[in-house]
Chain A
Amino acid sequence: MSGAETISWTPVRKAPSPLARLFDSKPFLIAICLLPAFGLLAVFLTYPLGLGIYLSFTDTKLGRPGVWVGLENFQYLLEDRVFLNAVWFTVFYTAVATVLKFALGLWLALLLNENLPIKSLIRAVILLPWITPTVLSAIAFWWIYDPQFSIVSYVLVDKLHILSSYIDFLGTPWHARWSLIVANVWRGIPFVAISLLAGLQTISPSLYEAAMLDGASSWQRFRKVTVPLLMPILAVVLTFSVLFTFADFQLVYAITRGGPINSTHLMATLAFQRGIPGAALGEGAAIAVSMIPFLILATLFSYFAIGQRKWQQGGSDE
């Protein structure tokens, strides 16, 4: 860094005040600049993360400090069918929803990458499901899934005559599970599509021309040009998508609240139900903490399996 030397070289410079000098000293400036962000993150992110892990080993209740109970919470949870079911459903929900989101999102991104009229308007409209509050669109889905007045059932039964009776979307476990997955995919497609579209637009058309000259079919062009060049961005989007689907809370809380008969609880909703209204903070924290290994695993997987490490770290690495 040559900045400081350059200044001392300037001949007609009046001596700066001590305060100004203090603000020009790099270590001080770095500390001051990082202080607000790190202060907030330390108090409201790092500390709670540690506290959560500690709480999961205690029997704390809301408003009452608990005592250390070791692994008791986890032992109890391992025999709790509701919890085991929630773990299974969270994994299933994440896997199915992610696959569908990426298949449909990639398809939509490819469609948007064509020369279309009013392209920017279409792109703007497509992002709507993603920017509106999730709970509110979940309420709209709840109404669409109404057992008596579902518009989907109405179309299928009364208009198209495909089915003979109305679908009970949220009444039976499997119907409810698939209904939630559909709502999650609906909400997730725009994010995937728009991010992948950004990736597609960075691929130079000359590569496609070269492939075409060599006689590559459109499938081959997709497989050998588009997919490899899209991989880095795909890995990042996949990481985010998996993490946030796994930790999803709002959709399930708004549409089913875990029912019918606890069949659609995600780990996050179960942790909330036990921890806040149920006031068993320790047990809720234990459920939340059991999500951490899955989250780390998912991050590592998409990071190492698909991600190109060097490219991904470009942001901090230069």
Chain B
Amino acid sequence: MSDAVRDQLSEAEGPQTMAWDSKARRLITIYLPLACFLLILLFPFYWMTITAFKPNSELLDYKNNNPFWVSSPTLDNIRKLLFDTQYPRWLVTTMGVAFGATFISLFSSVLAAYAIQRLRFKGSKWVGLGIYLAYLVPPSILFIPLASVVYSMGLFDSPWALVLTYPTFLIPFCTWLLIGYFKSIPYELEECALIDGASRLQILRRITLPLAVPGLISAGIFAFTLSWNEFIYALAFISSSEKKTVPVAILTELVQGDVYQWGSLMAGALLGSLPVAIFYSFFVEYYVSSLTGAVKE
């Protein structure tokens, strides 16, 4: 249902609905609650940002300053984070892990989804169901045995441990999403190519994949975000400070002692979220479609 059609409909039924759907009523029942939702959902980000730019004198003094604003903004917290900590290294590690895990997952998922959805074989629906079930296994029941697997493979405290374990939750998700996309590509296109003498792999490369590009982008950015945000594996498998990922490092390296440096903690939280947020702003529509696509399929 497109918005344009809805608009037309509501205009067409305008005269009858005007009586009860008046402006004031709309304001109270729709805009006011919506504004409250937006305020609450966004406030922590505002608070994070404003705290990151506050000098310590303002940070802990609500009597003489308005806590909701910052009168003399400072870049001290951010400078400290960038130059006095290993933040740049954490960022590079996280990027590398996220790209590696995304690449592996996307590669495996495309092939698996193609096999399940296009090469139809006996039991392919059971394979699909198995992959769906794999998605329902939460990392928090796997990390202890995985730690022992990683340890015995000699990958403990190595970013490779993360690159190889992240696909366990990325592959089921991406495969599921791509099955949905492949299903929307008309089967006839592939049959035409088969008649023209293309091999199966040529069909996948020349016909199916180009048509599934939106699906690939959705799956890719989603996998990237999930790996960027992953926490429990990165916390359990990595112990040396310089190899940590951003979310883990900010929590474990910046929180030290009893007096919390809220300014630099918030700067860390802000800078750690920013790459994902920027990434997100470029691909909003793909995020929404992969989120809803994954739920619908």
Query: Would you list which residues of chain B between 157 and 176 have a CB under 8 Å from chain A?
Result: 164-165, 167-168, 171-172, 175-176
Report whether B141 and A52 are in contact in the complex, using a CB–CB cutoff of 8 Å: yes
Report whether B44 and A186 are in contact in the complex, using a CB–CB cutoff of 8 Å: yes
Tell yes or no: B92 within 8 A of A by CB.
no
Q: Which one of A22-30, A94-102, A169-177 is at the interface?
A: A22-30
- The interface centre, meaning the residue of B30, B60, B137 with most chain A CB atoms within 10 A of its CB, is B137
Q: How far is B168's CA from A48's CA once the two chains are assembled, in angstroms?
A: 11
Partner of B142, one of A29, A38, A49, A236: A49
Query: Would you list which residues of chain A between 5 and 59 have a CB under 8 Å from chain B?
Result: 6-7, 10, 13, 16, 20, 23-24, 26-27, 29-30, 32-38, 40-41, 43-45, 47-49, 51-52, 55
Q: How far is B5's CA from A244's CA once the two chains are assembled, in angstroms?
A: 37
Contact (A233, B296) CB under 8 Å given A37-B112, A37-B175 = yes
Report whether B145 and A20 are in contact in the complex, using a CB–CB cutoff of 8 Å: no
CB of B111, distance to nearest CB on chain A (Å):
4
Q: How far is B124's CA from A1's CA once the two chains are assembled, in angstroms?
A: 15
Q: How far is B229's CA from A244's CA once the two chains are assembled, in angstroms?
A: 14
Q: Which one of B69-77, B78-86, B211-219, B271-279 is at the interface?
A: B271-279
Partner of B200, one of A29, A124, A203, A313: A29
Contact (A285, B144) CB under 8 Å given A37-B112, A41-B168, A315-B176 = yes
Contact (A133, B229) CB under 8 Å given A126-B38, A194-B291 = yes
Per DSSP, are chain A's interface residues mostly helix, strand or loop, or mixed? helix
Tell yes or no: A307 within 8 A of B by CB.
no
Report whether A276 and B236 are in contact in the complex, using a CB–CB cutoff of 8 Å: yes
Q: How far is B113's CA from A202's CA once the two chains are assembled, in angstroms?
A: 26
Quick one: closest A residue to B129, CB to CB? Answer: A316
Q: Which residues of B contact A107 (CB under 8 A)?
A: 33
Report whether A299 and B37 are in contact in the complex, using a CB–CB cutoff of 8 Å: no
Tell yes or no: B91 within 8 A of A by CB.
no
Tell yes or no: B246 within 8 A of A by CB.
yes
Q: Which residues of B contact A253 (CB under 8 A)?
A: 231, 235, 251
Report whether A3 and B137 are in contact in the complex, using a CB–CB cutoff of 8 Å: no
Q: Which residues of A contact B151 (CB under 8 A)?
A: 62-63
We find that the number of chain A residues with CB closer than 8 angstroms to chain B is 118
CB of B162, distance to nearest CB on chain A (Å):
11
Q: Which residues of A contact B127 (CB under 8 A)?
A: 34
Q: How far is B168's CA from A44's CA once the two chains are assembled, in angstroms?
A: 6
Q: Which residues of A contact B128 (CB under 8 A)?
A: 315-316
Report whether B114 and A33 are in contact in the complex, using a CB–CB cutoff of 8 Å: yes
Partner of A205, one of B1, B125, B126: B1
Q: Which residues of B contact A120 (CB under 8 A)?
A: 284
Report whether B141 and A292 are in contact in the complex, using a CB–CB cutoff of 8 Å: yes
Q: How far is B176's CA from A41's CA once the two chains are assembled, in angstroms?
A: 14
Q: Which residues of B contact A262 (CB under 8 A)?
A: none
> What 1/0 mask marks residues of chain A from 261 to 305 whose CB sits below 8 Å from any chain B CB?
000000010011001100001001100110110010001000000
Query: Would you list which residues of chain B between 95 and 136 have a CB under 8 Å from chain A?
Result: 104, 107-109, 111-112, 114-116, 119-121, 124-129, 131-132, 134, 136
Report whether B140 and A288 are in contact in the complex, using a CB–CB cutoff of 8 Å: yes
Partner of A10, one of B197, B199, B246: B197
Q: Which residues of B contact A205 (CB under 8 A)?
A: 1, 5-6, 9
Partner of B165, one of A44, A141, A288, A313: A44
Report whether A44 and B167 are in contact in the complex, using a CB–CB cutoff of 8 Å: yes
Q: Which residues of A contact B277 (CB under 8 A)?
A: 128, 131-132
Quick one: closest A residue to B274, CB to CB? Answer: A132
**Chain B interface residue number, banded:** 35 or more
Partner of A49, one of B115, B145, B246, B296: B145
Q: Which residues of B contact A62 (CB under 8 A)?
A: 147, 151
Q: Which residues of B contact A137 (CB under 8 A)?
A: 44-45, 48, 269, 273
Report whether A40 and B108 are in contact in the complex, using a CB–CB cutoff of 8 Å: yes
CB of B39, distance to nearest CB on chain A (Å):
11
Tell yes or no: A140 within 8 A of B by CB.
yes
Contact (A131, B199) CB under 8 Å given A55-B145, A205-B9 = no
Report whether B168 and A45 are in contact in the complex, using a CB–CB cutoff of 8 Å: yes
Query: Would you list which residues of chain A between 175 and 223 have a CB under 8 Å from chain B?
Result: 186, 189-191, 194-195, 198, 201-205, 209
Q: Which residues of A contact B132 (CB under 8 A)?
A: 315-316
Query: Would you list which residues of chain A between 227 and 251 have a CB under 8 Å from chain B?
Result: 233, 236-237, 239-240, 243-244, 246-250
A residues engaging B (CB < 8 A)? 1, 3, 6-7, 10, 13, 16, 20, 23-24, 26-27, 29-30, 32-38, 40-41, 43-45, 47-49, 51-52, 55, 60, 62-63, 104, 107-108, 111-112, 114-116, 119-120, 122-129, 131-137, 139-141, 143-144, 146, 148-149, 151, 154, 158, 186, 189-191, 194-195, 198, 201-205, 209, 233, 236-237, 239-240, 243-244, 246-250, 253-254, 268, 271-272, 275-276, 281, 284-285, 288-289, 291-292, 295, 299, 313-318
User: What are 14 A-B pairs with beta-carbon distances under 8 A?
Assistant: A33-B112, A34-B112, A34-B127, A48-B142, A115-B10, A124-B281, A125-B42, A133-B276, A195-B292, A198-B295, A202-B1, A249-B231, A289-B141, A295-B141
B residues engaging A (CB < 8 A)? 1, 3, 5-7, 9-10, 13, 30, 33-34, 37-38, 40-42, 44-45, 47-48, 51, 59-60, 62, 67-68, 104, 107-109, 111-112, 114-116, 119-121, 124-129, 131-132, 134, 136-149, 151, 164-165, 167-168, 171-172, 175-176, 179-180, 191, 194-195, 197, 199-201, 225, 228-229, 231-232, 235-236, 246-248, 250-251, 262, 265-266, 268-269, 272-273, 276-277, 280-281, 284, 287-288, 291-292, 295-297
